[in-house]
Chain A
Amino acid sequence: MTWTSDELMTVNAARALAGARTCFVGIGLPSAAANLARRTIEPGLVLIYESGTLGSKPSRLPLSIGDGELADTADAVVSVPEIFNYWLQAGRIDVGFLGAAQVDRFANVNTTVIDRGPGRPEGRLPGAGGAPEIAASCGKVLLVLRHSTRNLVGRLDFVTTVGHGDGPGSRERLGLPGAGPVAVITDLGIMRPDPETAELTLTEVHPGVTPEQAVAATGWPLAVAADLRVTDQPTEAELTALRRLTQGAPDA
């Protein structure tokens, strides 16, 4: 089977959920990946949406976090204060899975405003949503976004959500309980924080992608791991499940 670079990204994002028990799911790419994980690598994965659903099992990809099917198929539906206070802030959720507009070398995230230069008004992005507290309180965080110098920038115009702050020890100093971002999955490969410096380093490229391509598409001098690996090709089962999800076909 052939595949697109977006499919490669989503399949690898789903694989990153192996071993996770509970996942707080952002809408868009994270939702596609988390739903794919439930159909492939982690069938028991509990999906939690900020609209207040615990254990959603949608048969197709929801357009929004408010689609009725997320509530209809959930183990429990709770209020918005409850989802953020009792479930997220209390540290009950293993993985937070987020999309992003801009990410910097320490996996901090901007989803608020874009600086468009002198004399021009700031470009408006949607805002924080649940991200600052999801990234603070989940056991660990996965980020998924397309790889470009526009998205992966040397300096954020605004810090909406803290990843690893300004480097090693930042999260501890700020009192952020979770481990923070452990992987940034893109359509070119996967970056992970270096254990020493906390700086995002290219550790995997997807089949057919060169490390030079990834470096060129990154807005800071991207370090490449000495033992750079190539991600496994998507399997037929993964691609079939993903296409069924995105085409809206119900589970067999």
Chain B
Amino acid sequence: MAEIRSLRDAVAELVHSGDTVAMEGFTHLIPFAAAHEVIRQGVTDLTLVRMTPDVIYDQLIGMGAARKLVFSWGGNPGVGSLHRFRDAVENGWPRPLELDEHSHAGMANRYVAGASRLPFAVLRGYRGSDLPSRSETISTVVCPFTGEELAAVAAINPDVTVIHAQRADRNGNVQLWGLVGIQKEAALAASRVLVTVEEIVDDLTPTPGAVVLPSWAVDAVAVAPNGAHPSYAAGYTVRDNDFYQAWDAISRDRDTFLGWMRETVLVAS
């Protein structure tokens, strides 16, 4: 059963240095508040998993919290490059970043296999691409029924998955809706699950298209209003497109980035 805890306590208990961590949310419901708490607690040497690293992993990578990144598209959506990600990959600053790089379809299926507790997933993917030459988690398998050769991708089973959701009830049942992305699969693939929510409510009113994660599939729920900012929580907040555009200038220069992180993330609690 999920315990309702403070974000600080939940991160301290569930996220450890050296862990493989997935902070998911496909453009929506990205758990920024939890990532900032991870940075404040000095958790490091993480293998970060996320389809679209986005600004959230640009921040973690720039602060030196990651040793490896598993991903499929590393840009600032609609804006341009993730400068901290590029600086780490191209120049090893602040530390080298190992990559395991996939396509979206491959990553999505890796999470599905992980949630199903299967060793791998199959898809028609990567055919003719150079991507398999750089990844040890892409291979092929022959269908035993038709003889067709298909791509095989290794399951992802994070030590901990962190997601943001609209709300939870007092028993820790979690409800999210809108672009539900890959969060359900990422949560069910993980050994431990931390969910931040906009609010705790008495009853989870049924909502069209909503996903419910039952309390017994979650370890901790922490209240973090506006905890997806600059991403958003449909029905509560809107995507702060101006911030995504501003991030380009903040993150371009190492010192400007460090100054912003110090003033905005490290001093806050």
Query: Which residue of A is nearest B87, CB measured?
Result: A124
Given contacts A112-B130, A175-B149, 17 further A-B contacts (CB under 8 A): A51-B27, A68-B179, A80-B182, A81-B185, A84-B105, A124-B85, A126-B73, A126-B82, A127-B74, A127-B101, A128-B131, A132-B105, A133-B104, A133-B125, A137-B124, A161-B129, A176-B127
Query: Which residue of A is nearest B52, CB measured?
Result: A129
A/B interface sample: 7 pairs, CB < 8 A: A67-B239, A77-B209, A81-B182, A126-B82, A129-B52, A133-B104, A174-B127
Q: For A121, what are the chain B residues with a Cβ–Cβ distance below 8 Å?
A: 89-91
Interface residues of A (CB under 8 A from B): 27-28, 50-53, 62-68, 70-72, 77, 79-81, 84-85, 88-89, 112, 121-124, 126-133, 136-137, 158-162, 165, 170, 174-177
Interface residues of B (CB under 8 A from A): 26-28, 51-52, 71-75, 77-79, 81-82, 85-86, 89-91, 101-105, 108-109, 111-112, 123-131, 148-149, 178-182, 184-185, 209, 231-232, 234, 238-239, 241, 244-245
Closest 5 interchain pairs by CB? A66-B27, A64-B77, A126-B75, A162-B128, A63-B78
Q: For A89, what are the chain B residues with a Cβ–Cβ distance below 8 Å?
A: 105, 123-124
Query: Which residue of B is nearest A82, CB measured?
Result: B108
Q: For A62, what are the chain B residues with a Cβ–Cβ distance below 8 Å?
A: 78
Q: For B181, what are the chain A residues with a Cβ–Cβ distance below 8 Å?
A: 51-52, 79-80
A123 x B104 contact (CB < 8 A): no
A15 to chain B, nearest CB (A): 24
CA distance A81 to B184 in the complex (A): 10
From B89, B123, B180, A77 is in contact (CB under 8 Å) with B180
CA distance A158 to B101 in the complex (A): 13
B244 x A112 contact (CB < 8 A): no
A53 x B179 contact (CB < 8 A): yes
Residue in B73, B185, B244 whose Cβ sees the most chain A Cβ within 10 Å: B73
From B90, B103, B178, B180, A131 is in contact (CB under 8 Å) with B103
B108 x A84 contact (CB < 8 A): yes
CA distance A226 to B4 in the complex (A): 71
Q: For B78, what are the chain A residues with a Cβ–Cβ distance below 8 Å?
A: 27-28, 62-64
Query: Which residue of A is nearest B130, CB measured?
Result: A159
CA distance A158 to B232 in the complex (A): 35
A85 x B74 contact (CB < 8 A): no
A79 x B184 contact (CB < 8 A): yes
From A66, A81, A137, A176, B128 is in contact (CB under 8 Å) with A176
B94 to chain A, nearest CB (A): 16
